[in-house]
Amino acid sequence: MKTQEEIINRIRQLKQEKNAVILAHYYTRPEVQDVADYLGDSLGLSQEAGKTSADVIVFCGVHFMAETASIISPQKKVLIPVPDAGCSLAEGVCGKDLAEWKQQNPDGLVVSYVNTTAEVKAYTDYCCTSSNALKVVRNLPVGKKVLFGPDRNLGQYIRWTTGRDMEVWNACCCVHQPIDAEMVLHALEQYPEADVLIHPEASCSHDERVLNHPRTFMYSTAGILKHAKESPKKQFVIATELGTLHQLRKDNPEKEFIPIHSDLICTEMKKITLENLLEALEKEQYEVHVPQEIRERAIVPIQRMVNL
Ligand code: 13P
Ligand code: SF4
């Protein structure tokens, strides 16, 4: 059995030998985050996948993220250490669902969250992440109906904020859904000095009591990190997946971060370990393949998003 230090050293060595880069999402385990070359939220990771000069991308995240990287960089070998690391939200809509929805609304523009399969992206007009969803929707021609999916909480937040004519698909993230308005209002009362930083996949995302409160802020993961760094406040309640706390505490050792609930863990992201990351590099497994016909269609909405 190798020690953690030996595993990390071997990962670094193989990375150099194979000209590989490790991309990791903030929800992965702390030790995986620490060995990554680039740590980011969904948007940052997509951008990095397009920019890297590495030959191999090892994607520490869930399957749709690795698939997106492969769509963006088809000439690179994209590996995911655990091929069945899935996402409850991405599973909430399939290509056939979306094709039917489009057929029922021929004038609508489909905006899909990046948390979707390549097949769904192939039926999408614009992709977005939680970082840029508002920007994407605000850039669409005025008066055009928007079909937004699959996350109902992010969709309703965007509808509330932009006032757009939007139909919203009814799926959600099982990790963020339990963050409701009562939980947030209780935290505001319990910590009267703290800002409460909330991911828009939370079910309180369109509750006016939350949105109109001066100490609540709705952000993507990168937005939460930015706010915590730039704010003069010393205490924050964090209403998102708990993996985010690792970087928040590293960036701001003098500040206090309180998770709004102790159960907000994406078990799929946590499937990635240092051991299976090393195995992925050693055996060059598991390679993500997107069929050419799907890739050619799926790249269009991703490119529109990245260009914004
Ligand atoms: P962001 O990375 O866009 O903040 O989204 C969070 C998420 O749930 C990713 O799966
Ligand atoms: Fe999917 Fe939710 Fe996990 Fe993100 S946190 S990967 S949306 S299940």
Check whether 1 has a pLDDT greater than 90. Answer: no
Q: For 216-232, what is each residue's pLDDT tens digit?
A: 999 999 999 999 999 99
Check whether the bond before 150 is cis (ω within 30° of 0): yes
- Please choose, from the candidates 164, 166, 192, 191, the residue with its C-alpha nearest in 3D space to the C-alpha of residue 260: 191
Atom of ligand 1 nearest to the CA of 222: 4
> How confident is the model over 121-146, as a mean pLDDT?
95
Looking up tokens 């992010």 gives 154
pLDDT band, very low/low/confident/very high, at 106 (cuts 50, 70, 90): very high
**What's the confidence (pLDDT) of residue 43?**
85
Range name among 44-53, 254-263, 281-290 with the lowest pLDDT average: 44-53
> Taking a C-beta distance cutoff of 8 angstroms, is the pair 274, 8 a contact?
yes
Amino acid at 94: C
Atom of ligand 1 nearest to the CA of 199: 4
- Lookup: tokens for 268: 């799929």
Cα(269) to centroid(ligand 1), Å: 11
- The contacts found for 35-42 with CB under 8 angstroms, 24 or more apart, are 35/8, 35/11, 35/274, 35/277, 36/60, 39/247, 40/222, 41/129, 41/130, 41/131, 41/220, 41/221, 41/222, 42/114, 42/115, 42/129, 42/130, 42/131, 42/220, 42/221
Closest residue by CA, ligand 1 atom 7: 42
Amino acid at site 268: E
Sign of CA dihedral 200, 73, 244, 215: negative
- pLDDT tier at 303, thresholds 50, 70, 90: very high
Cα angle for residues 134, 138, 141 (degrees, 5° grid): 150
3-state secondary structure of 95: helix
| CB of 266 closer than 6 angstroms to any ligand 2 atom | yes
Does a cis peptide bond (omega within 30 degrees of 0) precede residue 286? yes
Distances (CA, A) of 283 to 81, 220, 252: 10, 34, 37
Look-up of token digits 């799929």: 268
Ligand nearest to the CA of 220: 1
pTM: 0.96
Counting beta carbons within 10 angstroms of the beta carbon of residue 96, is it exposed (0 to 12), middle (13 to 18) or buried (19 or more)?
exposed
The residue behind tokens 């990168």 is 222
* CA of 174 relative to ligand 1 center, distance in Å: 12
pLDDT band of residue 279 (cuts 50, 70, 90) is very high
Q: How far apart are CA 96 and CA 70, in angstroms?
A: 22
Say how many Å lie between the CA of residue 16 and the centre of ligand 2: 31
Average pLDDT over residues 244-251: 98
Q: Is 173 in the pocket of ligand 1 (CB under 6 A)?
A: yes
Q: Which helix (H) or strand (E) holds 25?
A: strand 20-25
CA distance 308 to 306: 5
Protein residue whose Cα sits closest to atom 5 of ligand 2: 266
Is the predicted pLDDT of residue 4 greater than 90, yes or no? Answer: yes
Q: For all residues of the chain together, what is the average pLDDT? A: 96
Helices and strands, number each (H, E), in the chain: 14, 12
d(CA 149, CA 113): 6
268 Cβ closer than 6 Å to some ligand 2 atom: yes
pLDDT class of 91 with cuts at 50, 70, 90: very high
Cβ–ligand 2 contact at 241 (below 6 Å): yes
Average pLDDT over residues 270-279: 98
Instruction: Give the number of whichever ligand sits closest to the CA of residue 85.
Output: 2
Ligand 2 centre distance from Cα of residue 155 (Å): 16
Is residue 255 pLDDT above 90, yes or no? yes
With a 6 A CB cut-off, is 220 part of the ligand 1 pocket?
yes
129: nearest Cα among 146, 151, 109: 151
